[in-house]
Amino acid sequence: MIIQCYNLEKKAPQQQHHLLKAQSFHIQKGEMLAIQGRSGAGKTTLLNILALLDQPSAGQYYLENKNVSTLDATEIQYQRQHTFGYIFQQYWLIEHLNVLDNICLPLQYLANPNQHDHQHLTEILNVLGLNDYLKRYPQQLSGGQQQRVSIARALVCNPKIILADEPTGALDQENSEKILALLAKINTQLGTTIIMVTHDAEVASKCQRQYRIETA
Amino acid sequence: MSTSIPYRDSMNKHDAKIKPVYYNCWQEAIKSLWQQKLRTLLVGCAITVAATVVFCLLGLYQQASHAVQQTLNQLAKPGLAVVSIQPKPYTQRPQLSLKDAKLKLTKLIPQSKWTGVINQYSNGQNGMNKIKFHHIISPINFQKLRQLSVTQGRLFHPLDMAQNRFCVIGQRIAEKVKQQQPHQWPYYLSIKGRIHTVIGILEPTNFIIGMPDINSSVITLIDEQQINQNVLDYLLIDTSKSIEGKNITALISRIQKQYPEYQLQYHDARLLTQGLQQGLQKLQFLLICICIASLVIAGSSISNSLLASVLERRNEIGIRIALGAKPQDIRKIFLCETWIICLLSCIICVFLGSTLMILINGILKTPQLDINSILSTAAISSLITTGIATLAAAYPANKASKTLPIQLIKKST
């Protein structure tokens, strides 16, 4: 098991209502999972907790059999860097960095960024069709192009788990299929675990398993 | 790993040339500052103003303390007694006999090159305070006045003479003066708005100057050699060699008896030095207070600008942390940016501050600061403002770097 979650809950700060109330679930290594649920069910909140960007109010979360509540700041930072690649729903690109710099940003925080495989980066850019936009800034790109940059950034460190929050939400049919095919290939050939939040039943059907969150 | 990458097939040779640029924190800071020009300008202005204020205040303090220190160095010799001299009021001085008065005047006159301006008095109806002189004869050599007789006189002091306010009057004028000023000698005349002391009355029989009516004349005495140069303001008595410090009072008493027309006051050089030192310390304290007040105002402006900068970029901080940035990576970004702005601001401050100092020196007519003083002042002011800016940037950046990234991202939306 790469991820084990037991009754994860998240309450809004200084309020009583739940943002998330998830039943226990496990994710196998190399699995491709779709998380589904109504709006406000807490899908993105769950994804944030899984990516160690947020902390649950209650419940247990084990990452590679380690309880994350016992991890210190350095270990959490290491896990964010090496274990997860996060594709944000709203892209979250840095405005003053161009496309190439945005994509390479996670590499800068590695212990030795210069030893990273440049070929790997080149391949990602090629597959995502970003070669023509490398010098452009985020505000000069369309939503779909920004989404592709966000995906490239998540893939650049070759993470063990890719967390994708509506990865095809801003893309057209053709690009959606390309991205899904790419994620499926990464999953099957590299054994990368992929956890994807989606509304789209068709997209979810391409995953090996679906996990549904009921409204909190 | 590279052989197992599934999308390697799609790579071509051209794509292999693409290489990412790994910026270090300095390069990234420069890039970020350049992208956010307005923010950079505002923060830079705040830091420049703060550094320039500190620079100018420190420069002024150095100049002031240098001037006072020079005086102190002169006074702070061991065993030096300072005796101030004040002439006694004219009325308290011993009255001279006619003979002595003549002698004194005749002795004094040849010692300096006096000239007299003879002013003829037209009528005394307007009163002596409004005396008018309509017949001004060109200056004559006062040596000739030696031959004049003086009827009355009183000892006068070199300090009085330095003011060039003496006159000799004719008999008719003297009668008018005596009517208006029934008291005893000395008499005073207001000539062109300035009070003149009458040091002698011309005898009516004297016609050497050739004045048609010497009895109605006033001769104003003018010292051409500016006798005030030779007038002492204070005596410096070196008590370390021949006189014990405690005997200085006795010495001064002896001098006082010898010269009763002087009023001697003894001041201990050490006390004077201490007084000046205290004055300097007060000045220092005042300047430090102004400096601190300026720094607090400028520092809050810097803090505000940098805090706004950090708050504005919470989203960026959150993304960077989510992508694996360590707290020190976040701190580095903001510190590098701050230090770059500080460097540029301090360079501007040196030029701006030096120009201001030159202007202030020109207005106050004080000596210029030497290059070492300017450099040390610039270094101190730069260090202080950089320190404030560093604290102002480090605190919010440090706080943000320890926050959960999702909170930072949510707050920014």
Find chain A residues with C-beta within 8 A of B402's C-beta: 73
What tens digit of pLDDT does each residue of A55-98 get? 898 999 999 889 998 988 888 988 888 899 999 888 889 888 88
- Phi, psi for A18 (deg, rounded to 5): -85, 135
pLDDT at res. A138: 92
Q: How far is A118 from chain B (nearest CA, A)?
A: 6
Q: Does B7 touch chain A (CB under 8 A)?
A: yes
Q: How far is A109 from chain B (nearest CA, A)?
A: 6
pLDDT grade for B148, boundaries at 50, 70 and 90: very low
- Alpha carbon distance B274, B278 (integer Å): 6
> Which segments within B32-95 are labelled E, that is strand?
80-87
What tens digit of pLDDT does each residue of B206-260 get? 444 444 466 777 776 655 444 333 344 455 555 554 445 556 677 677 767 766 6
Q: Does B390 touch chain A (CB under 8 A)?
A: no
What global pTM score does this model have? 0.61
Q: Does B325 touch chain A (CB under 8 A)?
A: yes
For A112, the closest chain B residue by CA position comes to: B22
The closest CB to that of A190, out of B6, B21, B325, belongs to B6
Centroid of chain to Cα B11: 76
Of A10, A145, A37, A137, nearest to A91 (Cα)?
Answer: A145
- Alpha carbon distance B294, B286 (integer Å): 12
Centroid of chain to Cα A209: 17
Contact B20 A100 (CB under 8 A): yes
Find chain A residues with C-beta within 8 A of B2's C-beta: 117, 119-120
Contact A77 B324 (CB under 8 A): yes
Contact B20 A103 (CB under 8 A): yes
Out of A143-152, B191-200, B317-326, which region has the weakest mean confidence (pLDDT)? Answer: B191-200
Q: How far is A96 from chain B (nearest CA, A)?
A: 6
Out of A33-47, B121-135, B181-195, B376-390, which region has the weakest mean confidence (pLDDT)? Answer: B121-135
Out of A70-84, B165-179, B182-196, B281-295, which region has the weakest mean confidence (pLDDT)? Answer: B182-196
pLDDT at res. A61: 92
| Chain A to chain B Cβ contacts (< 8 Å) | 123
What tens digit of pLDDT does each residue of A113-140 get? 666 667 788 888 888 888 888 889 999 9
The closest CB to that of A106, out of B4, B323, B413, belongs to B323
Q: Does A123 touch chain B (CB under 8 A)?
A: yes
pLDDT grade for B360, boundaries at 50, 70 and 90: confident
- Alpha carbon distance B147, B170 (integer Å): 15
- Alpha carbon distance B374, B386 (integer Å): 18
Q: How far is B351 from chain A (nearest CA, A)?
A: 32
Q: Does B410 touch chain A (CB under 8 A)?
A: no
The closest CB to that of B8, out of A48, A103, A123, belongs to A123
Q: Does A107 touch chain B (CB under 8 A)?
A: yes
Cα angle value B206/B209/B215 (rounded, 5°): 50
State whether residue A160 is helix, strand or coil.
Answer: coil
Q: Does A76 touch chain B (CB under 8 A)?
A: no
The closest CB to that of A190, out of B4, B316, B321, belongs to B4
